[in-house]
Amino acid sequence: MSDLTRRSFLTWTGVGALSVAAMSLAGCGPSASGGDGSLRFAWWGGSDRQRAYLEALDAFTAEHPEIQVAPEFGDYDAYQERMTTQMAARDVPDVFWIPSPAVLTYREAGLYRDLEGAPGLDLSAFTEEQVESFRLAGTLDTLPKSIFSPVLRYNTNFLEDEGVTLPDQLDWDNLAEFLVDYSANNADGRKGTAYGPYHDMPFESFLRQRGEDLWTEDGTLGASVDGVAAWIDWWEKLRRAGATTSVSEQDGIEPAWSQVGDKVLVTFANSNHIVDDAQAFPDYVFDQRDVPAAEDAAAGYHFTYYSRFAMYSGVPDDRVEAAATLMSFNLNSPELLSLVGLSAGAPPNTELLDQYEPDATPDEQKVIAITREINETEQRPRFEAPAGSGSWRDLMIRELEEVTLGEKTVPDAAASFVEAVEGEIAGA
């Protein structure tokens, strides 16, 4: 166990140099509770989310004075760095949020405790079908803390300025045509959108509409070279037509919202992002709708993403009930939801969402509306990113840089991306 260093874990998650068996040693030690015997609870987010959760944890302790909670938080990157160190030291928090690329990586490392029948865990608000959808490979070892989906967000003021509306039936072709026309003809020199093929969830929707999956049930890359190329090509045609901000204008492939939010008409995003992003530009009103759909889109292409959290496998049996009670609070507490809001996504507990809706902010109402709309669609199964694939977004950005610099063709970049991701998964 002493051979599993932070460096080797980073290698394993990035390029798959270590075996799953070796990595699983990181999850075999006892849980290290807070110094006063309190439960450790870890999450990520900015300062507003941190303050909200700290206040919510005070409410939890008031309701359960026998359970003290030691908070651990940081921004998204810092959180992952800390988890890496803690996993290598077998010093994982009792309850923790799971970064999206790491769901199966953490699982293969043995970090999750089976929650089936855990005392203190209240899942009464969920149907059997819902609980079944929470399982990974048939095991209930993670739960969704929030849900969201890919959307197309737009600036309603910019549409009104030009006296135009987005097509009622939005597909990829007519959206591209609309964005090119808007960029060429609007009076303020705005662009249709930011250059955004790095957006992961819209990319996944695009693939699913083609009948492909980003990840397969057996833990491989489901995206074909043709599918990846079609996605990049859609964006490249927009970029070359002047319908997107240039890579230099947006300071790289993956711009900050603050750099482009007042320069573009539409952007692809996750449904929850509007809550925080709209506040960055209070003079504008934003709305959102479902992503474009190809005319021949495969049935069930819609999906709802579960942002998950878990109980550490090393939690001693005599602390499981306390940890499960904290998880139940996260799933079911109206007070917590009233404090943290919907910036991290809508709660999977629809009863809780119904209670919250009358007091939701206008932007949160938009999150709720699209959540309900997409929840009602047909959805075929969606699978999590396999172990070893954690750097796939970086690999995509690398290929996009090559394309925009003119150093690779779109087909070559797509082939290189697929080859690199498949290699990293195989290496894990």
Backbone dihedral angles phi then psi of residue 50, each to the nearest 5 degrees: -60, -45
- Amino acid at position 292, single letter: P
What are 335's two structure tokens?
Answer: 């007070």
The pLDDT tens digits of the residues spanning 300-338 come to 999 999 999 999 999 999 999 999 999 999 999 999 999
User: What are the residues whose beta carbons fall under 8 Å from the beta carbon of 235, sequence distance 6 or more?
Assistant: 195, 196, 197, 244
pLDDT number for residue 37 = 72
pLDDT number for residue 428 = 80
Backbone dihedral angles phi then psi of residue 287, each to the nearest 5 degrees: -135, 175
Burial string for 129-168 (b: 16+ CB within 10 Å, else e) reads: eeeebbebeeebbbbbbbbbbbbbbbbeebbeeeeeebee
Burial string for 192-203 (b: 16+ CB within 10 Å, else e) reads: bbbbbbbbbbbb
Q: How far is CA 34 from the centre of its chain?
A: 29
Cα–Cα distance measured from residue 333 to residue 326, given in angstroms and rounded to the nearest whole number: 10
pLDDT number for residue 20 = 35
Cα–Cα distance measured from residue 141 to residue 116, given in angstroms and rounded to the nearest whole number: 8
User: Tokens 């939005």, residue?
Assistant: 170
- Amino acid at position 50, single letter: Q
Q: In 75-157, where do the E strands start and end?
A: 95-97, 143-148, 150-155
Run of H or E residues at 331: helix 317-332
With beta carbons less than 8 A apart as the criterion, state whether 261 and 281 touch: yes
With beta carbons less than 8 A apart as the criterion, state whether 345 and 45 touch: no
Class of residue 1 by CB neighbours under 10 A (exposed 0-12, middle 13-18, buried 19+): exposed
CA separation, residue 163 to residues 119, 158, 186, 187, 335 (Å): 58, 9, 10, 11, 42
pLDDT number for residue 8 = 33
The candidate with the shortest Cα–Cα distance to 207, out of 425, 417, 373, is: 417
Q: In 92-173, where do the E strands start and end?
A: 95-97, 143-148, 150-155
Class of residue 62 by CB neighbours under 10 A (exposed 0-12, middle 13-18, buried 19+): exposed
With beta carbons less than 8 A apart as the criterion, state whether 128 and 146 touch: no
In the predicted model, residues of the chain with pLDDT beneath 50 are: 1-30
Q: How far is CA 84 from the centre of its chain?
A: 19
Cα angle, residue 82 at apex, residues 345 and 53 outer, rounded to 5°: 40
Which residue ranges form the domains of the chain, and what is each CATH number?
6-145+307-371 (3.40.190.10), 150-301+388-427 (3.40.190.10)
Cα–Cα distance measured from residue 266 to residue 274, given in angstroms and rounded to the nearest whole number: 12
pLDDT number for residue 36 = 64
pLDDT number for residue 354 = 96
pLDDT number for residue 54 = 96
Maximum CA pair distance of the chain? 67
Helix (H, G, I), strand (E, B) or coil at 299: coil
Cα–Cα distance measured from residue 376 to residue 137, given in angstroms and rounded to the nearest whole number: 24
